[in-house]
Structures are given as structure tokens and as C-alpha cells.
Structure 1
Amino acid sequence: MAAGAGAAQLGLGYGLGIVSWQPTGDSATVWVSSLAWVTWLAASSTVIGAICADRLAGAGAPVPADPHSFGGQALVVAWRVVIALAAAVGSLIIVPLVAIPARTPRPDNVAPYFTAGGYAIAGLILGLLVAVGALAARAVAANIIASSAWLWTLAVVAVADVVRADGNTATAAQLGTWQFTDATWVRGMVNLPGALLMLVIALLIGALAAWPAGRRGDNRVGVAVSGLAGPLLVAIAYLLAVPALGEHDQHMSAFVIAPYAMLAGLAGSVIVSAVGPRGYHAQNRAARRAAADDRDARSAAEYSDWAAALAEADAADSRRREQDEDLPEPLPIPTGATKSREPVTVGAAELDSGAADMESDAYAPPRAYGRTYSSDSAGNRAYAEDTVDDEPAPKLNMPAATGTASVAPLWPSAEPVTEEAPAKPSGRTKRGRGKPAE
């Protein structure tokens, strides 16, 4: 396929007089134009041959079991490199088809056939590198094909215009631009209408060639850089041809503008890549809306949990307060109560009702659980507290209670008891102040 594309394009160039190796009056201009065309022909033929071979391979192309694995990707890349190398081998047919017609000696070049063949090989290597990218991204392949179609259309129209005016076809068609005769020149080097034509066409082809791939959802990196492929082949061709410096030279104008045409083509494809595939913005809006709804739902759930925790804390606090209110109030401690603890006999008989006037009645506990407590402090208190000091009370030699006999109280009551109370110890002090009791 590459050999057929190269032979067909070179034959079209020879037939239209675009490529010419014979010395003429304007020999330097024709030579530079022919070298640029040959370089571009070899590169574009290699890329076109690789694209066609890859499409025709069909089921013959290797299909990895896991395309996303390292081995699968290596297999795909190796297949693309093999296809590109095969296309480069086919494009080698351009070298003899260029070198043999260019063997006529020239005043400025003693071996023109060697130079022409070398430019063809340089274009072939350039096409080999671009072909690998064209096989990886369909947008790149579309840009190469569209650019080639535009360049040949422009060349055929230019030759037809020169033939109508009985002009020289060898200098009529220029690679990638139109030779405006009555035009505005910028600093004597840039043909303004021709420069604008190159920039606008590169921008349009970059956008239009990338549009189908971009809308299909192809790799966005391949879509973005696709606009660079076609103008790149033209810029490299002019760079290798190296036109001579001179004012109002059409080739110098194209040589200067070619790099900017690359940027214009890149801008067109980048715009398409930014637009994205069909429904891309709607999907993004839906995704953003779903993310916002999910964020709101999480916030509402967190707020509900926080409110439930607060409500539970309030309920627990209310229950605790209710429990505190149900508890009995603590008994007040009389001001005259003592802190000293004295052992008493538990289970003593109840005193007469007149004992209510005694100081011990202030220590009578409340009624609880259906039990009645005596007003006698000696029968209900295990210890008495003294408000003065903590000196231990002296031991009392009291007889232990036996059987059902009643026990005399420790302190005298208002009415006499039936049994005689034991005498008080002589060493006891009143309220612990160190004074003997009266």
C-alpha cells in the first residue's frame, strides 16, 4: 500500500510538472520546491500505506487476551511498529524514482541524485514515526488524509490556473500555500494572504478531522494532538529544503509560517477535544448533580444522627433529674449534735412517751418500709456524733442483755423507770470539753 501511494503521488507530481529536476531559468526556486514536495510525498505515502494496511488487516491483526495488561499493550504496540516498518519498506520505491531523474548535474550541486534520494529517505523516516501515532489514534490518521487531500487539491487548482495563463507549471504549485502575486508583504518575508490561508486551513482541518473521533469518545489525548500531524509534515519538509533568503520569496514566506500553521492545527483539535464526546457535558452535569445530592444526603444523615444523639442525651438527663427528685431529702444535722461516737446497746426497751422531751428525740429516723422506729436514741442509733472533738469515749461496764429482760437507758428520762440504772462513770466529761459532769 505504501509503495502504491508513493508511486501514485510521485507520478502525479511529475505529470503536473510540480516536481522537476531539470535546470531552468528559475532553477533555484524549482529545486527547493521539488525537494520539499519529495520529502512530503515520502512521509505522507508511508503514513497512508500504514493506515490502509492496518484497516485491511482486519481479523489478521493479533488480539491480546487482556488488552489492559502489560503484555497485551506490548503486543498492540509491536503490531503497530511492524505495520509502520512495512510501510516504510514499501515507500522505498520513491528513492529510485526520484534519484534517477535527478542525476543531471547542476551548477550548485555536483551530485543532485544523492541529494534528492537523501530527502526522500528523510521523509520516509519522518513518515515512519508519524505512522505509529496514526495507527494509535484515528484522529491523527484522519488529519493526515485530510491534509493530503487539501494539498493535492490546491496544487491541481494552481497548475490549472497557470496552464490557463500559459505560465510555467514548475513554479506554479507550492506546497501548502497559494502564491498571491499582488499581495501585502510583511517585512518583505511573509506573504500576508498566503500566510492567512495556511493558518485558517490548518485550523479548519485540525477541527474537522478531529470532530468525528472526538464525538465518538476516542482517546482525548489523541484527539487533542491530531491537528499537529498534517502541518508537521509540511513544516519538516520546508525545514529540510532550507529556501534561500530573499525578499518577496514565496518559499521563504511558507517556511516562516509553517510552524505557526502547526499551532493553528493544534488549536483546532484541542477545541474539539475540549468539547468532548456526544452527551459529554450532559453526563458531567448529571455526575455533578448526583455528587451534590449524595453530599446533601450524607450531610442530612449526619445532622439526623447529631440531633438523635442530642435528644437521647436530653432524655437521659431528664431521667436522671427525675430519679434525683424521687430520692428522700437528707436529714438535717442539729447544731448541738456531737461528733464523738459512743457504743450503745441495740434492742433496748422502748422508753415512756415522756422521753420525747429529751435531746435524743432529734435523732429519731423517719418511718420507712412499714417499720416503726422508737424515739429512743439509745435503741436506734449505733453512734452519736460530737461536734467538738473526736476523742474516744470511755468504755462502760454495762451488763449484757440476756433473755427478755429490759435494759436500762444510758441517760435518765423524765419519769422514773422500774429498774435501777447503773451509775455513770466518774471520769466522763460533758460534751468533751474537759470539765467534770455535775
Structure 2
Amino acid sequence: MAFRTWAKLFGATLGAAAAGGASQLGLAYGLGILRLTRVVDVTARDQWMAQLAWVAWIAMASAVIGAMVGRRALPPHAGAGTRLVAAVSAALGAAIVVPLTMEPARTAQIAGVRPVFIIGVCAALGAAVGIVAAYAAVSHAVARWNLTAVGAGVWAIAIVSVAPSMAPSEPLPATRLGVIDASFLSDSVTQRTALFTMPALALICGVAVGVAARRRAMPTLTVALSGLAGPALLTLAYLVAGPGSGDQRYQVVPYWAAMTAAGAGVLGSVLVAVLSRGPAVPADGSGPVKSRPTPDRPPLPRREAQTSSAIAQAAAVAAQRSEEQLRPSDTGVFTVPPEEGGASFNGFAPRPQPQPVNAPPVAPAPVSPPLSTSPAPQPRGRNGQGDEFVDWVSGLGHR
């Protein structure tokens, strides 16, 4: 990538993030949301921790703003390394929150706390987390939508909380991140709503972004995770600030609400991904949206239109004929002439057995083999000796 393109990308992301951080801090200072130049007693230390959550979240949101603006300067088909450079430059621009919060905190007096150091660390951690948020905003459209929706909702809640204090005689309220701290609500109602405000906001944004992603025929996994990015920043901001330790549970209640916000956002988008299984339809209702092929997802092969067979064509022609014009080959019914003698053909009657014309040949009688005529053998033994033995015995007597 050319040097001019790198310089344009770095300058756009860095400048937009710095401008976003300064503008958000100016709005927070002007509305009285952030009041860093004050004396806080030990019993009110949770209010100081609520300010830290705002500082961390503003740093994260500033990095996201820089990434969204710098995305326009990215070259076509930018790789992961280029997007990471854009995210890092956005986080560097968001680091302007660090000096803009440390300088007012020099006059703050917090019992047992070094306010300048603590607020600088929280702002720096928020800018570091902003690298991940900025990279998600550059890489995925659903992350940009959800971050924008949740960010707008957080600022809308803050403005609603401080709106009654704009009257001349009303004091400035202590506004917590993602909590309706309006003066027209009692303390008990405020504590109850603090437990449900952020999860409800995350759930609504998750459902809205999930529906938008589903209508654009995005993958199911993308739709299911479309409600994660924005609520995750609220969770991380409260993790940086801490849960607090006051007896009135001023910071503990919104802390645990923020811990469940990410899960609520994912729940909303997962419900959309599971329940919306029909084909995606565009806004004008013209028809289903066809997903465009990408290098990772090539187009599916198309089947050529098959011509009808000869049998189907013959059947179609036969269906247009009248009953008088039908032929046996069209209906498959053939007329069989009657048999001799006037009997009609019955296909279910038993068929007669065929009779043999000639008698079967008689098998020849077996012939026994001839008897043997050889003389019987002469027995051997003492009583049956031959003539030679008798003559030998007779000769012994004449000697």
C-alpha cells in the first residue's frame, strides 16, 4: 500500500477518534455527568467509581468512532493487517481522553484514593480495549450497527436522567452509566430500574440488529453474534471501574446489570437467528434476496432445464383428445375378441391343464451281469494233499 494511503488512513482514524473523545467529554462535562473537580467523602466513594465507568466507556466509544470514520479510507479488499493498523490508530486517537480527564482530576479530593493516577489508568485501559472494538467495527457490519445502537441508547438514557436538572432551581444529579437516574423517580424505583435498564437495552438492540442482518441474508452465526459488540463495552467499562463497596449498593446493582448485558444482547440476536428460518425478503417485498457469491462461498451449480420425455409428450397430446378420438395406445385398454363357442374372456378363471398327445416312453428293464464259470478252488489242508505227497509217503515204505 502506498505511503499516501497509509497516511490518509492513519490521519483519518486518529483524528476522528480524538474528535470523538473530546466531543463526548465536552458533552459529559456540560451536562454534569462528569464532575471530576469535587470533594468526595468516603461514604460517597461509589459515586467516584461511577465516574470511572463513564471515563472508560467514553474512551472505548471514541476508538469505535475513529474506526468507523477511518473505514472509508481503507483500500478495497483490505487484509487483517491493514484493519489492525486502523484499529490501533483509532485507539491512539481515543487516548486523548487520558489527559482530558487527568487534568480536571488534579483538584479532586477523594478520601484514600489518588484520583489523577486512577482516572488515567481507567482511561488508558478503555483506549486499549478500544483496539478490539475498533477492529470489530472495521471488519463486521453487524458490529458497527450494534455499537451505534447501544451507544445512542446510552446517551439517550443519560440525557433523560439529566433533563429535569436543567431547570434553574434543580441540582445536578449523579448519573451512572446506563442507568436512569432521573430526579422524578424515587430512590427505590431507581435501584430497581438500574438492574434491568442495561439488559433491556442490550436485548432490544440485539433483536433489532439481528432482524436487520437476517433480512440481508447474512450467515446464521453472524446473525447470532450480532448483539454482542455494544453490550460488551458496557460490561468491560464496569469491569474497569469495579463494583464498589457502599452499603447502599449504589454501584453494585448497575455493576451486575452490566455483567448480564452482553448475555442479554446475544440472547436477542440468537432468538432472531433461530426463529427466523424463512427466506429473507427485501424491504420492497419484490422477492427473496439471493446471497452474492464470495471467494469463500462460490455459487452453487445450476441444473439445466430438462426436456420432457416422449411418453410425457404423448400423454399430454392424448389428454387433449375427446373420448371418441382416443386410441387403445392412449388409454392402455385393448378389446379382446370372444373365444370359440361364444364364451367371453375371463382373466380370473383357472387355466386348463394341457393334456399329453403321446404316451411317455417306457424305461428299459435293467440287465443283470452274466454269472462267472470259473472252477471252484480246491481246499488246502491235511486231508486234501496232492498226488505228489501220497507218492512220497509210499516210497518211504519200499526203502
TM-score bucket (shorter structure): 0.5 to 0.7
Correspondence for 2:311: none
Correspondence for 2:320: none
1:334-359 per-position Cα deviation (integer Å, ceiling 9, x unaligned): 22x5xxxxxxxxxxxxxxxxxxxxxx
1:71-123 per-position Cα deviation (integer Å, ceiling 9, x unaligned): xxxx6211221111111111121111111111225243563222111111101
- Structure 2 unaligned regions, length at least 5: 1-15, 282-286, 289-355, 375-399
Is residue 25 of structure 2 the alignment partner of residue 10 of structure 1? yes
CA distance in 1, matches of 2:250, 2:103: 28
CA distance in 1, matches of 2:222, 2:29: 35
Correspondence for 1:61: 75
Correspondence for 1:150: 153
- 1:48–1:145 CA contact under 8 A, matched in 2: no
Alignment of 1:63-212 (within 5 A): 63=77, 76-104=79-107, 106-109=109-112, 111-164=114-167, 166-169=169-172, 171=174, 173-179=175-181, 181-182=185-186, 184=188, 191-212=191-212
- TM-fit CA distance, 1:146: 0.8
Secondary structure of residue in 1 paired with 2:248: coil
- 1:226–1:269 CA contact under 8 A, matched in 2: yes
Q: 1:201 to 1:329 in 2, by over 3 A?
A: farther
CA distance in 1, matches of 2:162, 2:267: 31
- TM-fit CA distance, 1:254: 0.3
Output the amino acid matched with 1:30.
Answer: Q
C-alpha root-mean-square deviation of aligned residues, in Å? 3.0
Secondary structure of residue in 2 paired with 1:61: coil
Is residue 363 of structure 2 the alignment partner of residue 333 of structure 1? yes
Secondary structure of residue in 2 paired with 1:148: helix
Correspondence for 2:60: 43
Alignment of 1:203-282 (within 5 A): 203-276=203-276, 279-280=279-280
1:134-165 per-position Cα deviation (integer Å, ceiling 9, x unaligned): 22221111111111111111111211112338
- 1:44–1:127 CA contact under 8 A, matched in 2: yes
Deviates more, 1:228-237 or 1:238-247: 238-247
Output the amino acid matched with 2:62.
Answer: S
Q: 1:273 to 1:137 in 2, by over 3 A?
A: farther
- 2:45–2:246 CA contact under 8 A, matched in 1: no
CA distance in 1, matches of 2:114, 2:217: 51
Instruction: Decide which structure has the larger Cα Rg and report it.
Output: 1
Alignment of 1:346-361 (within 5 A): none
- 2:194–2:257 CA contact under 8 A, matched in 1: no
TM-score w.r.t. length of structure 2: 0.64
Secondary structure of residue in 2 paired with 1:191: helix
- 2:53–2:238 CA contact under 8 A, matched in 1: yes
TM-score w.r.t. length of structure 1: 0.58
Q: 1:25 to 1:128 in 2, by over 3 A?
A: closer
- 1:216–1:278 CA contact under 8 A, matched in 2: no
Q: 1:166 to 1:254 in 2, by over 3 A?
A: farther
Secondary structure of residue in 1 paired with 2:39: coil
Output the amino acid matched with 1:22.
Answer: T
Output the amino acid matched with 1:213.
Answer: A
Correspondence for 1:378: none
Secondary structure of residue in 2 paired with 1:250: coil
- 1:19–1:170 CA contact under 8 A, matched in 2: no
Correspondence for 1:388: 368
Output the amino acid matched with 1:217.
Answer: A
Output the amino acid matched with 1:2.
Answer: A
Higher relative contact order (CA 8 A, sep 6+): 2
CA distance in 1, matches of 2:259, 2:100: 29
- TM-fit CA distance, 1:197: 2.7
- TM-fit CA distance, 1:22: 1.7
Secondary structure of residue in 1 paired with 2:225: helix
Amino-acid identity (%): 33
1:407-430 per-position Cα deviation (integer Å, ceiling 9, x unaligned): xxxxxxxxxxxxxxxxxxxxxxxx
Q: 1:120 to 1:260 in 2, by over 3 A?
A: same
Q: 1:52 to 1:211 in 2, by over 3 A?
A: farther
CA distance in 2, matches of 1:161, 1:435: 147
Q: 1:184 to 1:158 in 2, by over 3 A?
A: closer
Correspondence for 1:433: 371
Residue correspondences, number? 283
Q: 1:28 to 1:167 in 2, by over 3 A?
A: farther
Correspondence for 1:346: none
- TM-fit CA distance, 1:8: 0.7
Output the amino acid matched with 1:177.
Answer: V
CA distance in 2, matches of 1:36, 1:221: 31
CA distance in 2, matches of 1:254, 1:329: 112
Q: 1:104 to 1:330 in 2, by over 3 A?
A: farther
- 1:217–1:276 CA contact under 8 A, matched in 2: no
Secondary structure of residue in 2 paired with 1:130: helix
CA distance in 2, matches of 1:120, 1:164: 31
CA distance in 2, matches of 1:165, 1:206: 39
1:160-202 per-position Cα deviation (integer Å, ceiling 9, x unaligned): 112338444251x2210113753658xxxx9323323332222
Q: 1:248 to 1:30 in 2, by over 3 A?
A: closer
CA distance in 2, matches of 1:149, 1:22: 27
Secondary structure of residue in 2 paired with 1:249: coil
- 2:62–2:94 CA contact under 8 A, matched in 1: yes
CA distance in 1, matches of 2:275, 2:262: 20
